[in-house]
Amino acid sequence: MPVAHEGLEQEIGYVTKPFEIEHIRGLFEGTDPLMHELAYNLIVGNHHDVDRLTKDALDRDFSANNILDDGLIAGMAIVGIKFRDNIIFVPEVLVAARAMKAGMKHLEPILSASGIEPLGTVIMGTVKGDLHDIGKNLCIMMLRGAGFAVHDLGVDTSADKFIDAVMEHDAQVLGMSALLTTTMPNMGKTITAFEEAGLRDQVKIMCGGAPLNQEFADDMGADGYGKDAMDCVALAKSLLGLEEVMKAVPAKT
């Protein structure tokens, strides 16, 4: 059934894979028109409107959890699909991320105060020697949007820093990013460091970055490889044995 919000309906039109259409329509079915407006404004990156609509929704007694699920996360699911399918590019995703942040600023204090458990805790960082962080930041934004608690170690992250963060936050998943062929081996070195510290069994390790592939990830003993931010979320969920909402799709050509 089409949603009444014309702009959102147009955005849903960008989703073309049958199982994704079904999933996305399911997200908006039976939810309030205010959530449709919120999702639409997030997708197109109107951060002032997302800020205002989130406050409105809280004033109208929508729960923070509903606003997150039915408005922000539902909108972000479309952003992820449009990015993967080359309908939008990095600048538009960053603008949507800014809008997400504008909404989350109102929800985060309520969610943490109400003790709603995150799906899991993820440590993310770009490996030693590598300063590229745009892709990692997109992954973090999508992971947070999906309900994970994420600790961002930034760029140029040593194996020791990864280990310390996993221990400190009792994280179930570690995600490493690399964009340089010269820094990719630092992922394998980090995995070895976990093994040598006797901690490899305590954390699932996923990796990503443009020069990587599944074979490289398998060879170095990672638990998973993701080709984009959507995959990163699906991977984190599957590594934790949670329902995989969005199925992995073939790599961009």
Q: Which residues bind ligand B12 (CB under 6 A)?
A: 90, 129-136, 138-139, 175-177, 179-182, 206-211, 226, 228-229, 231-232, 235
Q: Report residue 98 as tokens.
A: 């800014």
Centroid of chain to Cα 138: 7
Nearest residue to ligand B12, scored by beta-carbon proximity: 135
**Cβ closer to ligand B12: 56 or 156?**
156
Residue type, 117: E
State in angstroms the smallest separation of the CB of 23 from ligand B12: 19
State in angstroms the smallest separation of the CB of 129 from ligand B12: 6
State in angstroms the smallest separation of the CB of 106 from ligand B12: 26
Does residue 130 contact residue 178 with C-beta atoms inside 8 Å? yes
State in angstroms the smallest separation of the CB of 212 from ligand B12: 7
**Cβ closer to ligand B12: 43 or 179?**
179
Give the number of other Cβ atoms within 10 Å of residue 13's Cβ: 10
**Cβ closer to ligand B12: 98 or 132?**
132
Q: For residue 47, give Cα distances in angstroms to 50, 52, 73, 94, 212.
A: 5, 9, 15, 11, 33
Tell me the backbone φ, ψ of residue 246, rounded to 5 degrees.
-105, 125
Cα R_g (the chain), whole angstroms: 18
**Cβ closer to ligand B12: 103 or 226?**
226
Strand, coil or helix: 124: strand
State in angstroms the smallest separation of the CB of 198 from ligand B12: 23
Distance separating alpha carbons of residues 209 and 187, to the nearest angstrom: 11
Residue type, 177: S
**Cβ closer to ligand B12: 64 or 78?**
78
Give the number of other Cβ atoms within 10 Å of residue 117's Cβ: 8
